[in-house]
Amino acid sequence: MNILCTILLFFYKNKVVLPEILTSSAMTTAIARMELVILNLMPIFFLFFSSTYAQSKVYIVYMDHSVMPKAFSTHHNWFKSTLSSISENSELPISSKLIHTYTNSIHGFSASLTPSELASLKNSPGYIHSTPDRPLELHTTHSTKFLGMSTTSGVWPASSYGEGVIIGVIDSGIWPESESFKDRGMSRVPLRWKGKCETEQHFNSSLCNKKLIGARFFNKGIVANFPEINITLNSARDDQGHGSHTASTAAGNFVENASYYGYAAGTARGMAPRARVAAYKVLWKNKVFASDVVAAVDQAIKDGVDVLSMSLGFFAAKDKFYEEDAIAVATFAAMEKGIFVSASAGNAGRLHGTINNGAPWLTTVGAGTVDREFEGALTLGNDTKQITFESLYAGNFSGLREPLVFLNKCKSLKKLKNIKGKVIVVCKDGKTTTLEDQIEVIKNGSTSVISGAIFVTNDEWKDYYDYSFAATFVDEKDNQKTVMDYISKNKNPTGILEFRKTILGRATAPKVARYSSRGPFMRSPSVLKPDILAPGSEILASWSPLNKIVEVHSKPLFSHFKIISGTSMAAPHVSGLAALIKTVHPDWSPAAIRSAIMTTANPLDNTGSPIKDAGNFDHPASPLEMGTGFIDPNKAIDPGLIYDAETEDYVKLLCSLNYTAKQMKIITKTNTSCNGIKPSSDLNYPSFIAYFPSDFEAPHPGPKVVREFQRRVRNVGKERSSYIAELSGMRGLKVKVEPMKLVFRRKNEMLSYKLSVEGPTNLEEEVVHGSLSWVEESGKHVVRSPIVATNMDPMNL
């Protein structure tokens, strides 16, 4: 067991993902499932084998605030008294047990409790429910240009670059000295702002300005779960970089001459360069717990943020209800307050049902690529033709012609150390060696001799490639043959290695990133997730200079900017876009803003073809991978029609999931029950998913099934306008819309329609998809919604 724990903890701490070395469909699925199991069990194993597990555990406790005795002036005092009454150790101060008090996001508290104290608490007045505190996972210069954003026309000038909107970023804190957070050109702080910058270790409130208007930190939860943790920077200052990266992606100011060691050079800026930033630090030494995140959401609501950006989450076990997801419950309160919440879909990619943060009141964001590539180049001998390869190598290189030394499988460190003079070594795949083994041999070789290395490899997973030394990964068969033929035919082969090349416009983009998690979401499968795709791969943004960006020849390198990938990078793009929309439409609800983003998204790539899925051999992506498509900011501020939803609509959805009065109280914080409410799983959402139960015993294709959806849309375009329904074909299915035409006579008028999908129980494919577009007769607006029909059982993925 100790050996197993060591292996699992190594995978978790180092965020290792299994390399994709097999290409058959079955084996790819097997590997993906193994990756998913490892990545999502790590936090559980990590928590289980911590030294504190057998003693007290941290719980998030939901309380009924309406039964608070009048003797108490605040909920905090009531909770302290409640804990005091159940405490097993009267000498231990209650302040050591009570971790956070929540009043805005949920009603309750988090506390460290023994099993018997928890049992006693359950009999206390006002107790509703408790759930163990859980660990969560963290899920540039060019992305705004790729999105068509311009300083002369479109969304930026129309929205004043997000001026006046406040984005709260819940992450690893912020590096306040970054150029991205300077307040050049900013107006005064909005008078409605109630937040502040907390002065603590290496962070003074004077570091904040008209751009960075809030900085707080929350770590009582992680300290309670891991008393042995050493908090080395007890303040909102970012010592990891992730928080500065996401904050600057959402709302970073203009920074000229930004780059990552020469890559992606240009002017960096966030999606909403004039929006304000409030940072809420919850991540400590790459660990984060739900109790601290709920405290951050609670405070952000009180402070008065307009948008929340969350690039973290935990995997939704299929047997869990929403009350076990404290993040979903807390953000329900944010939605009620009119706060738009953008959340990352997760990085567990490739398989269906892997999505995080799929609550229907959140905007769930998947990651896509952009048309920018970072390359190095290899020149063989005197040939003028170069072999290019992906690279983010940040170290020095000579750029001179040097001898090539072929070491075959590169297994022998002794052979490597016997080489004389500066050379470029060449390694080739073998059945008895792995790419990782070869990399380790070269890294352990003499850096005074090796100028670089060429790896002739069939490993196509480029995310796994090592950039700690000058390396070329030649994985295309034609290029492999070119390299090996040149070496075999030349007695004294030579080569030149060059790096730091940024190529724009050549790549087909966007694609769904291979790591981006897929829907459906198991807690509410009737709502199609993810919602949207945004730039997430190789994004340049601000970084903390306290955290090394890479090691080159065992020496750490530091920078104020870094290029990283993940749905963590995609979510803040949507947060920034929401800020721009809110500037133009300050009275719109979170659902209305989400609708505008979704219905104007582009399902096509830059070649005019359907967006492809990099995690599925570049086959066309379905809405379960990409949502409605790739964000289109210039169109999103003027969508024509919107699908809105209020608290009542989400309550009807929860009732359709057979939630009890107790469960409803946890989420809504009221005495709402489903008695007298007409439950409906058919949320007024800008997308559709229909489940067709497979019946393999029935004669193919099986009996007919009809799925019906009711929707209502609000006219936010010109007063008098008409829209015609256009349907894209769905093979083997009959799709019908009634009526086929919507005629609006005034602005903000709402009209309804019905969509039905008819087909056999056994579909021709597991996932069939198409779309409904409401096309304005003037041609100005196209309001598009994806339609998915599937035989999948979301509870058995």
Q: Which residues are catalytically annotated?
A: 171, 242, 568
Spatial separation of the C-alpha atoms in residues 88 and 606, rounded to whole Å:
64
Strand bridging mode 108-113 / 57-63: antiparallel
646 CB neighbour count, 10 Å cutoff: 12
With CA atoms as reference, report the closest residue to 649 among 677, 628, 671, 669.
677
How many residues are present in the chain? Answer: 797
DSSP class per residue in 611-643: PEEGGGTTEEPPHHHHTT-B--HHHHT--SEE-
Burial bucket for residue 374 (CB in 10 Å: 0-12, 13-18, 19+): buried
> Phi and psi at residue 738, in whole multiples of 5°?
-130, 125
Q: Which amino acid is at 279?
A: A
**In which region does residue 261 sit, left (phi positive, over 0), alpha (psi from -120 to 50) or beta (all else)?**
left
Cα–Cα distance measured from residue 429 to residue 407, given in angstroms and rounded to the nearest whole number? 11
* 238 within 8 A of 285, measured Cβ to Cβ: no
Contact 475, 457 (CB under 8 A): yes
Structure tokens at 106: 């949920």
Q: In the sheet where 57-63 sits, what is the strand order?
A: 98-102, 108-113, 57-63, 127-132
The answer to whether the peptide bond before residue 273 is cis (omega within 30 degrees of 0) is no
CA distances from 773 to 114, 599, 603, 701, 748 (A): 56, 9, 12, 28, 19
Residue keyed to tokens 């979704």: 598
Q: Tokens 């269906």 appear where?
A: 352
Q: 725: which residues sit within 8 A by CB, 6+ positions away? A: 737, 739, 740, 741, 742, 753, 772, 773, 774, 775
Cα 195 from chain centroid (whole Å)? 26
In this structure, are residues 265 and 567 in contact, taking their beta carbons and an 8 Å threshold? no
Coil/strand/helix, residue 245: helix
Radius of gyration of the chain (CA): 27
> Partners of 773 in the beta sheet?
726, 784
Q: Which residues pair with 426 in a beta bridge?
A: 406, 454
Q: Give the contacts of 748 (CB within 8 A, at least 6 positions apart).
A: 714, 715, 716
CB 641 within 8 A of CB 713: yes
Q: Can you tell me the distance from the alpha carbon of 764 to that of 757, in angstroms, rounded to the nearest whole number?
A: 15
d(CA 272, CA 100) in angstroms, rounded, equals 32
Name the E strands within 505-606: 511-512, 532-535, 539-542, 550-552, 555-557, 561-564
In this structure, what token pair is assigned to residue 220?
A: 């009582």
Name every residue whose Cβ is closer than 8 Å to that of residue 292 and which is 6 or more positions away in sequence. 100, 218, 219, 220, 221, 222, 282
Contact 407, 416 (CB under 8 A): yes
Q: Which residues contact 222 (CB under 8 A, 6 or more apart)?
A: 229, 284, 287, 288, 289, 292
Q: How far apart are CA 38 and CA 645, in angstroms?
A: 37
Q: Which of 396, 411, 517 is nearest to 447 (CA)?
A: 396
